[in-house]
């Protein structure tokens, strides 16, 4: 059976653990050469060691333009092209509307929203002239719900990612570059193992939290030719926690 991403080159940010690692692994299983990008180079290398296809580990701070440009340059120097970008890197810091500091707000927006923009910006000249490409951004159920458990800067950043996805999808559609997003709910990762998320998990209609592999399967679909006529969509992976 032909593998869905055979011969393609993907860059996955935040690929060192959790959802990002699961995406890297599934993409490689489906034949892609993966650039595993993470702010922690050791974590990226650990993910790379688990992949069945040749890849590259990249130390990449998505919130820094020069670091993004260097990472994309290294990937293209190694593989010669970029076909798929998954903007998965993100952080969640516990805060409320009343106690959120300016530093916390700026950091969360820098990684989750600015980082997504900078990586999309770096991908455009690598995809647009070739008339091929797929970008998958990571939004959140919080972008639709307004946040079940607070975290205002995270909510704002992820809502921005959703809007950015739609705008970029419209801009790149004439060049056959598709842009979509995934909005995960409560997924079993290190980032969601808190009391507030445990309470939220109990409200999931399907009766269980999602896995990183569940999100990776959606990313694979959006990155593959199976989604060739889909762009500008934000797909929920939340067990029914939020329905629209």
pLDDT in tens, 53-77: 999 999 999 999 999 999 999 999 9
Show me where the domains of the chain are located: 9-237
**pLDDT (0 to 100) of residue 150:** 79
Q: Report the pLDDT value the prediction gives residue 87, as an integer from 0 to 100.
A: 99
In degrees and rounded to multiples of 5, residue 24 shows phi and psi of: -55, -45
Catalytic residue among 24, 154, 182, 239: 154
Closest CA to 92 of 44, 135, 42, 148: 148
Instruction: Give the confidence band of 33 by pLDDT, cuts at 50, 70, 90.
Output: very high
Q: Is 66 helix (H, G, I), strand (E, B) or coil?
A: helix
Question: pLDDT grade, residue 196 (50/70/90)?
Answer: low
For residue 193, name the pLDDT band (cuts at 50, 70, 90): low
What integer pLDDT is reported at residue 199 of this predicted model? 81
Q: What pLDDT is attached to residue 194?
A: 61
Instruction: Over range 198-209, report the average pLDDT.
Output: 90
Task: Name all contacts of 72-78 with Cβ < 8 Å and 24+ positions apart.
Answer: 72/11, 72/119, 72/122, 72/123, 72/126, 74/35, 75/9, 75/11, 75/35, 76/126, 78/35
pLDDT > 70: percent of the chain? 97
Rounded to 5 degrees, φ, ψ at 9 are: -115, 125
Over residues 103-131, the mean pLDDT reads 98
Q: CA 90, CA 100: separation in Å to the nearest integer?
A: 18
The residues facing 38 across adjacent strands are: 59
Fold of the 9-237 domain: Rossmann fold (3.40.50)
The pair of structure tokens assigned to 189 is: 């990762």
Placement of tokens 């300016």 in the chain: 102
DSSP E strand boundaries for the chain: 9-13, 33-38, 56-59, 84-87, 133-138, 177-184, 234-237
By the 8 A CB rule, do 84 and 11 touch? yes
Mean model confidence pLDDT for the chain? 96
Band of residue 136 on the pLDDT scale cut at 50, 70, 90 = very high
pLDDT over threshold 70, residue 85: yes
CA distance 128 to 238: 32
pLDDT above 60: residue 238: yes
Identify whether 171 is a catalytic site residue: no
Dihedral class, residue 46 (left if φ above 0, else alpha if ψ from -120 to 50, else beta): alpha
Does pLDDT of 9 surpass 60?
Answer: yes
Whether 197 shows a pLDDT value over 90: the answer reads no
């Amino acid at each position: 059976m032909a593998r869905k991403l055979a011969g393609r080159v993907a860059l996955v940010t935040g690929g060192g653990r959790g959802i990002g690692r699961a995406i890297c692994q599934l993409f490689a299983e489906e034949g892609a050469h993966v650039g595993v990008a993470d702010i922690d180079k050791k974590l990226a290398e650990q993910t790379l060691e688990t992949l069945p296809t040749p890849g590259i580990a990249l130390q990449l701070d998505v919130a820094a333009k020069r670091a993004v440009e260097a990472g994309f340059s290294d990937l293209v120097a190694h593989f010669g092209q970029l076909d798929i970008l998954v903007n998965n890197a993100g952080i969640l810091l516990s805060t409320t509307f009343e106690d959120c500091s300016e530093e916390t707000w700026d950091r969360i927006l820098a990684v989750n929203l600015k980082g997504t923009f900078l990586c999309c910006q770096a991908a455009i000249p690598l995809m647009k002239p070739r008339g091929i490409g797929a970008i998958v951004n990571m939004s959140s159920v919080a972008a639709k719900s307004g946040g079940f458990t607070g975290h205002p800067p995270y909510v704002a950043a992820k809502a921005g990612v959703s809007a950015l996805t739609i705008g970029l999808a419209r801009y790149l559609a004439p060049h056959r570059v598709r842009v979509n997003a995934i909005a995960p709910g409560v997924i079993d990762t290190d980032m969601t193992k808190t009391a507030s998320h445990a309470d939220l998990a109990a409200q999931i209609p399907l009766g269980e939290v999602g896995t990183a592999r569940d999100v990776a399967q959606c990313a694979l679909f959006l990155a593959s030719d199976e989604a060739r006529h889909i762009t500008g969509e934000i797909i929920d992976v939340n067990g029914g926690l939020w329905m629209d």
